[in-house]
Amino acid sequence: MIALIDHDLVVFRCAASAEQDDFGIAKYRADALLDELLTKTGCTEYRAFLSGKSNFRKTIYPEYKANRTAPKPIHLEALRDYALEEMGAELAPEGIEADDAMGINQTDDTVIVSLDKDMLMIPGKHFSWEIKGKGWVKPDKWTDQTELGGLRLFFEQCLKGDTADNIKGIEKVGDKTAKKMLADCTTEQEMFNTVRAAYGNDEEFIMNASCLWIQQHEDDVWRDRFNAYIQK
């Protein structure tokens, strides 16, 4: 099995944890975390993806991730360079994010390795590794996501939005309400119809959905999916 590693997260977390240390500590932690992830997943091969500078989502919605104003860890850019030069990491294709690259490359023989819950909209195997805070532990977790389960997660996000990425959903719809609104839906089409009706504005729905959707094949444009839904 091949691990598809969210290296944006790996380098960010390792750079942030070494904020008070020299660059050598950040490199050591990144190498150690990669070894740990391969051991835990049992993978002997991996592809580690980093997002590039361009992102089609910012063309659709210029305010995408505009709320992320905190200073970046001081070692982040140097650690990205190290990952590309020494760790075998690769940049996602022009215009898309590492998330999309993992989604496009997910197969029956791969596992997506990430802490990002959004990745669970991609069908197949997923692994999130243990993280700890003051007084709490989030343990390692394997998930085998179904196609319908992934779509449900996506349509829930369309309803509630994603504050981390500065994407507004429908006013006053949070996690519990979104789940309740889709609870009786048993098909992809029913979920789409419910969310479309809740928006009442197709262009706003398409904009948000296009930013939230993680690609599952090359040229996987969500507007094309929207057009296919309304023709059914």
What angle, 0 to 180 degrees and rounded to 10, lies between the N-to-C axes of helices 147-160 and 188-199? 10
Correct CATH for 147-230 of 1.10.150, 1.20.120, 3.30.420, 2.40.128: 1.10.150
19 within 8 A of 74, measured Cβ to Cβ = yes
> Of all helices (H) and strands (E), which one includes residue 99?
helix 98-105
- Amino acid at residue number 117: K
pTM of the model: 0.94
Given a contact cutoff of 8 angstroms between Cβ atoms, the answer to whether 2 and 109 are in contact is yes
- Please, are residues 116 and 9 in contact by the beta-carbon 8 Å criterion? yes
If 0-12 CB within 10 Å is exposed, 13-18 middle and 19+ buried, where does residue 87 land?
buried
The per-residue pLDDT string of the chain (232 residues; one tens digit each, 9 = 90 and over) reads 999 999 999 999 999 999 999 999 999 999 999 999 999 999 999 999 999 989 999 999 999 888 888 889 999 999 999 999 999 999 999 999 999 999 999 999 999 999 999 999 999 999 999 988 777 788 999 999 999 999 999 999 999 999 989 999 999 999 999 999 999 999 999 999 999 999 999 999 999 999 999 999 998 999 999 999 998 7
Domains of the chain, by residue range, sit at: 2-145, 147-230
Superfamily (CATH H level) for 2-145: 5'-nuclease (3.40.50.1010)
